[in-house]
Structure 1
Amino acid sequence: MSIIVEQLTRRFSPGGSPAVADVSFHAPKGAITSLLGPSGAGKSTLLRLIAGLEVPDVGRVLIDGVDCTSLPVQQRNVGVVFQSYALFRHMTVRENIAFGLNVRKQPREEVEARVDEMLRLVQLEALGGRHPGQLSGGQRQRVAFARALAIRPRVLLLDEPFGALDTRVREELREWLHALHESTGLTTLLVTHDQQEALEISQHVVVMSDGRVAQSGSPEDIYDRPASPFVASFIGGANILRGHVQEGRVAVGSLALAVPPAAREGEAVHAFVRPHDVKLARMVVGGRGPSPVLGTVERLKSVGGFVKVLLRLPSGDEVTVQVPRTEFDELGVTEGDAVHADVRTATVFVGDYAI
């Protein structure tokens, strides 16, 4: 079941700024599509519009080619999982999973069989008699998934389902969700602000900013070919360097980069350089070194298997570089040392932008 969104707009106050503005995209059948963006980008509002929990001012929602815009949530046959679990505390796990089926007045024998099936699917067979307060956060979220899937939804809508969990449990549930999707093939929409989460488990990504779609495409397209300065700065935590076109090259501080198409002499440019796309080499006293670009190590910070290096260029620009720990140990530099910096890859946009 594919999801097609056409020109959706939603305002919560007359004349106010729209929470969602003229949003259009296509979530492919059988894929996980992530709605990715910073807080306030309109992701959750968009999901609620698709679910039928909000009514758009303008636009349409089509599920499997059927216009669902005017249908109430009960008739859209979508499964929804929220960050807060939204489980009934006074009900057991079995009763929570059975809730949607009972509302639909399914025969008791069918309900019991479906609940058993869902408990096996989410690997909680032994916990059916417990109440939510007796479960861990990860277990509660799996119960929420089971309840959403029990009604055999056409699509699954997930509103930051791992946001309230610690890092280790988040990673475990990401893997679990991937396996779940592999087994069900259910078209899924995932709201998240976590780039790694979106790029790791999605087949399609819709990047949002200020209630609008900034770019949509495969994770590879979003990461390798950002369509705008916002996407380039948001995805991958890029350094932003300002410069101009000079003598057929992009001059950004001490760096000289390739000129983008249609750039004219003297035009302002922004170069986006990701921390892992800078190669550092120790400056050899009395030697030329591998690169004409020099920098001074201002600060070092060890983060797990990487070392973050804050590098100051002669222009005064600061660049954060991420170096694998083994490579950093071989480099053998400390704060205050001069190093050569080689930019492997940069994305350059022409124009003077407010990022």
Structure 2
Amino acid sequence: MSIIVEQVTRRFTSGGSPAVSEVSFQAPRGAITSLLGPSGAGKSTLLRLIAGLEVPDAGRILIDGVDCTSMPVQKRGVGVVFQSYALFRHMTVRENIAFGLDVRGSPRAETDARVDEMLRLVQLEALGGRYPGQLSGGQRQRVAFARALAIRPRVLLLDEPFGALDTRVREELREWLHSLHERTGLTTLLVTHDQQEALEISQHVVVMSEGRVAQAGSPEVIYNRPTSPFVASFIGGASVVRGRVESGRVAMGSLSVDVAASAREGETVQAFVRPHDIKLAKSPGGLVNGHPPTGRVERLKPVGGYVKVLLRLPTGDEVTVEVPRSEFDTLGVAEGDAVRADVRSATVFVGDYAI
């Protein structure tokens, strides 16, 4: 079942800025589509509109080709999982999973069989008699998934489902969701602000900013070919360096990088440089292979398997570089050292934009 959103707008105050403005995109059939963006981008509002929990002021929402814009929640065939789990504390795991079926008047034998099936699917067969307060956060979220799936939804809507969990559990549940999706094949819409989460488990990504779609496409396209300064800065943690086209290259103070053929000599540009796309070399005598140093190491921050280097350029700009531990140990730099930095690649946009 595909989800198609056409020119959807939603305002919560008369005359105020819309929470969602003229949004259009298509979530492919049988895929996980992530709505990705910073807080306040309109992601959760859009998901609630698709679920039927909110009504748009304009536009249409189609599920499997059927216009659901004014259709009640219970008739849309959607399963929804929230960050807060939204489980009934006074009900057991089995009773929580059965809730949607009971509301729909499912015969008891069919409900029991479906609950058993869902408990096996989410790997909680032995915990059906427990209450939510007796479960871990990850187990409670799997119960929420089982309850959403028990009604045999046409699409699955997930609103930051792992947001309240610690890093390790989040990673485990990402892999679990990937496996669950492979087994069910349900068209799934995932709201997240975590770009790693979106890029790791999605087949399609819709990047949102200020209530609008900034870019939509596969994770590879979103990451490697951003179409706007916002997407380039949001995806991949890029540093922004302003420069000018000189002799066919972008000169950014002491840094430079090849430029697209469309950029003209003398034009002002912004280059978005990701931390892993810069290579450093130490400058012990003031020169590196005959070249002057690019900048000085302002700060070093070891982070697991790599070291984050904050490099200050002569222009005053700061650039973040990520150096693998093994490479950093060989490099032998300390705070205050002069270094040479070579940019492997950068995304360049003509003009000077506010990000």
1:269 aligns with 2:272: no
Q: Secondary structure at the match of 2:161?
A: coil
C-alpha displacement of 1:2: 0.7
Q: Deviations over 1:105-146 (max 9, x none)?
A: 011100000000000000111110111111111110000000
Aligned pairs (5 A) from 1:95-174: 95-174=95-174
C-alpha displacement of 1:307: 0.4
Q: Secondary structure at the match of 1:328?
A: helix
- The separation in 2 between residues aligned to 1:163 and 1:178, in whole angstroms, is 17
One-letter amino acid matched to 2:268: A
Note if contact 2:240-2:271 (Cα within 8 Å) is conserved in structure 1. yes
C-alpha displacement of 1:316: 2.2
- The separation in 1 between residues aligned to 2:128 and 2:88, in whole angstroms, is 14
Structure 1: runs of 5 or more not aligned: none
Aligned pairs (5 A) from 1:265-304: 265-283=265-283, 285=285, 288-289=288-289, 294-304=294-304
- The separation in 2 between residues aligned to 1:220 and 1:305, in whole angstroms, is 24
Match of 2:350 in 1: 350
One-letter amino acid matched to 2:227: A
C-alpha displacement of 1:294: 2.0
C-alpha displacement of 1:352: 1.4
Match of 1:316 in 2: 316
Alignment RMSD? 1.3
Structure 1's 15 and 2: CA in aligned 2 closer, same or farther, altered over 3 A?
A: same
Aligned pairs (5 A) from 1:177-326: 177-283=177-283, 285=285, 288-289=288-289, 294-326=294-326
Note if contact 1:61-1:69 (Cα within 8 Å) is conserved in structure 2. yes
- The separation in 1 between residues aligned to 2:162 and 2:112, in whole angstroms, is 28
Q: Secondary structure at the match of 1:172?
A: helix
One-letter amino acid matched to 2:179: A
Misfit runs of 4+, over 3 Å = 284-288, 290-293
Note if contact 1:291-1:341 (Cα within 8 Å) is conserved in structure 2. no
- The separation in 2 between residues aligned to 1:220 and 1:321, in whole angstroms, is 22
Structure 2: runs of 5 or more not aligned: none
- The separation in 2 between residues aligned to 1:30 and 1:284, in whole angstroms, is 56
Q: Secondary structure at the match of 2:88?
A: coil
1:71 aligns with 2:41: no
One-letter amino acid matched to 1:175: E
Note if contact 1:293-1:342 (Cα within 8 Å) is conserved in structure 2. no
One-letter amino acid matched to 2:165: L
One-letter amino acid matched to 1:347: T
- 147-156 or 260-269, larger mean C-alpha shift: 260-269
**TM-score after normalising by structure 1:** 0.97
- The separation in 2 between residues aligned to 1:266 and 1:342, in whole angstroms, is 22
Q: Percent identity?
A: 82
C-alpha displacement of 1:286: 7.7
Q: Secondary structure at the match of 1:316?
A: coil
Aligned pairs (5 A) from 1:8-47: 8-47=8-47
- The separation in 1 between residues aligned to 2:229 and 2:218, in whole angstroms, is 18
- The separation in 2 between residues aligned to 1:53 and 1:316, in whole angstroms, is 49
- The separation in 2 between residues aligned to 1:188 and 1:334, in whole angstroms, is 47
- The separation in 2 between residues aligned to 1:224 and 1:17, in whole angstroms, is 32
C-alpha displacement of 1:266: 2.7
Note if contact 2:99-2:147 (Cα within 8 Å) is conserved in structure 1. yes
Q: Secondary structure at the match of 1:302?
A: strand
**TM-score after normalising by structure 2:** 0.97
Q: Deviations over 1:65-99 (max 9, x none)?
A: 11111101000010000000000111110000000
C-alpha displacement of 1:290: 7.9
Alignment length (residue pairs): 355
- The separation in 1 between residues aligned to 2:354 and 2:315, in whole angstroms, is 21
Note if contact 2:283-2:293 (Cα within 8 Å) is conserved in structure 1. no
Q: Secondary structure at the match of 1:271?
A: strand
Structure 1's 286 and 349: CA in aligned 2 closer, same or farther, altered over 3 A?
A: closer
